[in-house]
Structure 1
């Protein structure tokens, strides 16, 4: 008995199948593109139920959610609350406060003291402040207790316990790779 001629479409499908798999990839791409389209918004009846019979505002897992008039978790969020959440999760609160105090140093300690001193570090309650002259270092050492009180008002209780005041950086008189160990130094050449 001869075979019916309806087998030709099956043979054509077999011929379209490519051994490299491009036909399968093309079919999956077209299927994904069709699934990505947004569903048409349907009118919700006033009964409080959706056409599928569920309550308004609640969806079953796997159902597409439609946007409503009230804000929900899918709406864009402001940057401020997200940054606050990140700071809280990472524990950056005190570090940001300290950097804020360092940035406003002249405002906190006064313009005159702020012009001649700069905070360098705050580690374990010890604030290191560098001055531009030894006279200002002495003056700041006398004001250390007042400075601790003022900084703790800004940063919180017992954040700063000690203020370590350092004078200016000394100039380096060493030039080049070679030098003497027992040299007498630069001596007085300024007079």
Structure 2
């Protein structure tokens, strides 16, 4: 049975791999930053979960955590503290602010909305550009077809007028032929 690493998609050879106990995917030790010098127990190997399955696990209660802005690494030792107070009325419940550094849900919603609008506008502009290019190509082809149809129409009209002239000449020749026959008959 071929074992392929779920991280790098290459074939796993030897025993340098972990197998997820939930999804049964295989991973190279190096793809997981695991080095052979580190010892891992058999119990841990049996219940090991891959990064995808770990991310799918339900998280614990985070109702007490705050949304904080990301800090540069130089400021990582700074801690943000906040004290909660109980809202005094219903209107205040929706607008409780824990600290001036926090980002509210409505701010996040507005930021996401703005980013989505920008992305949509970029996609729409690219779509319009592509559509306009294709329409220009179609217009050129339709112009060529229109020119061809006009040429064919002119040729048809010329042919039609020639046929009409030939029919008139044929009628005249038929009358002359009848006159000549009648003269031949009278001469006979």
| TM-score using structure 1 length | 0.23
For the pair shown, which has the larger CA radius of gyration, 1 or 2? 2
Structure showing the higher strand proportion among its residues: 1
